Amino acid sequence: MRSINPEIIICKNLEEIHRNAAEVLVGLIAKTLLTQEVFSLVLSGGSTPKGLYKLLAEDVSLQGAIDWEKVHIFWGDERHVVPKHPESNYRMAHEAMLSKVAVPEENIHRFKAELADAHEAAADYEKELQVFFGLKPGAFPRFDCVLLGMGADGHTASLFPGTEALREHKRIVVANWVEKAHTHRLTLTAPALNNSDFVLFLVSGKDKAEALRQVLEGEKEPERFPAQLIKPVDGKLVWLADKAAAAKLLRH
Ligand code: 6PG
């Protein structure tokens, strides 16, 4: 594993990405809980983080490493489907991790993506965040850690190229129409994701190499490569990429 500036860690493979991510998370949670009562963790969906969730739940060396009673779980985005749907990010995290660790039910803050109206589901989640973080109107939640993935098109969360949500600066959560998927996707907005102490990207596979090069080394074109929007405010940004995903990086 090579670690080079700025906080881009090149891992051998996906398994090493998961190991590194687990190590970062365990350390961050322990350190944060020395001075805070709770830790707010935003999960990402898709396939890349599944192995991390399983590791955190099942690896014997990590048993007892996380004080799950004090961890509150959120999602960066969700598909507009019921929680039991195969595509549900909640379902993936629940099966891989949340059903196996001692996180209290009331600490799990999932999108009510089963609501027929996607805009209502987004507004409901926004309200949940406002209540949990005790926010005044117009304020953003401050997350302790946000996990993110990146699509081969440079999207992150459900901030897809050319979609309306990319230009949202006031809302915390929106229902974002994604034409290519012909559906609304529920997503935290860029300002909401950026209001975090720590953002950790997990990117694996050669199909991500071109997008990763564009995002990290290309022209600033966030409409085309939305992951470029992620710049935590007074927070740390770390990319964990495997060699295949980092293959086209010139400067890193
Ligand atoms: C989702 C994720 C999305 C994901 C990327 C990468 O809901 O799918 O939030 O942003 O992180 O699409 O997905 P993979 O990890 O499956 O490549």
- Tens of pLDDT, residue by residue over 208-232, are 999 999 999 999 999 999 999 999 9
d(CA 222, CA 137): 27
Atom of ligand 1 nearest to the CA of 47: 16
d(CA 127, CA 135): 9
Atom of ligand 1 nearest to the CA of 89: 7
The mean per-residue pLDDT over the stretch 9-17 comes to 98
Tell me how far the alpha carbon of residue 171 lies from the centroid of ligand 1, in angstroms: 22
**Is the bond preceding residue 83 a cis peptide, omega within 30 degrees?**
no
Q: Report yes or no: 72 and 41 within 8 Å, Cβ to Cβ.
A: yes
- Burial of residue 186 (number of CB atoms within 10 Å: 0-12, 13-18, 19+): buried
Tell me how far the alpha carbon of residue 37 lies from the centroid of ligand 1, in angstroms: 30
Q: Does pTM top 0.95 for this prediction?
A: yes
In the numeric block, which tokens belong to residue 202?
């997990």
Our answer on whether the CB atom of 44 is closer than 6 Å to any ligand 1 atom is: yes
pLDDT for residue 251: 80
Residue 75: C-alpha distances to residues 92, 106, 217, 230 (Å) = 11, 15, 28, 16
Our answer on whether the CB atom of 63 is closer than 6 Å to any ligand 1 atom is: no
Q: Which amino acid is at 180?
A: K
Tokens 């964990």 belong to 240
pLDDT for residue 2: 40
Binning pLDDT at 50, 70 and 90, where does residue 1 land?
very low
Question: By C-alpha distance, which of 3, 10, 68, 43 is closest to 209?
Answer: 10
Check whether 120 has a pLDDT greater than 70: yes
Q: Which parts of 77-164 fold into alpha helices (H)?
A: 89-93, 118-133
Q: Report yes or no: 154 and 225 within 8 Å, Cβ to Cβ.
A: yes
Helix (H) or strand (E) holding 54: helix 50-58
The mean per-residue pLDDT over the stretch 89-111 comes to 98
> What are 141-151's pLDDT values in tens digits?
999 999 999 99
Our answer on whether the CB atom of 51 is closer than 6 Å to any ligand 1 atom is: no
Our answer on whether the CB atom of 235 is closer than 6 Å to any ligand 1 atom is: no
- The residues, any chain, with a CB within 8 Å of residue 43's CB and separated by 6 or more, are 49, 53, 73, 74, 75, 76, 89, 93, 147
125 bridge partner residues: none
d(CA 60, CA 196): 29
Q: Which amino acid is at 92?
A: M
Q: Which of 18, 75, 77 to mutate to test the pocket of ligand 1 (most atoms within 8 A of CB)?
A: 77
Q: Which of 14, 18, 47 to mutate to test the pocket of ligand 1 (most atoms within 8 A of CB)?
A: 47
Our answer on whether the CB atom of 46 is closer than 6 Å to any ligand 1 atom is: yes
pLDDT for residue 4: 35
Catalogue the long-range contacts made by 227-230 (C-beta closer than 8 Å, 24 or more residues apart). Answer: 227/148, 227/150, 227/154, 227/155, 227/156, 227/159, 227/201, 228/154, 229/156, 229/159, 229/166, 229/190, 229/193, 229/194, 230/148, 230/156, 230/190, 230/193, 230/194, 230/199, 230/201
Our answer on whether the CB atom of 228 is closer than 6 Å to any ligand 1 atom is: no
Residue 68: C-alpha distances to residues 15, 21, 89, 160 (Å) = 23, 17, 20, 32
Strand order across the beta sheet in which 183-188 lies:
77-79, 183-188, 173-178
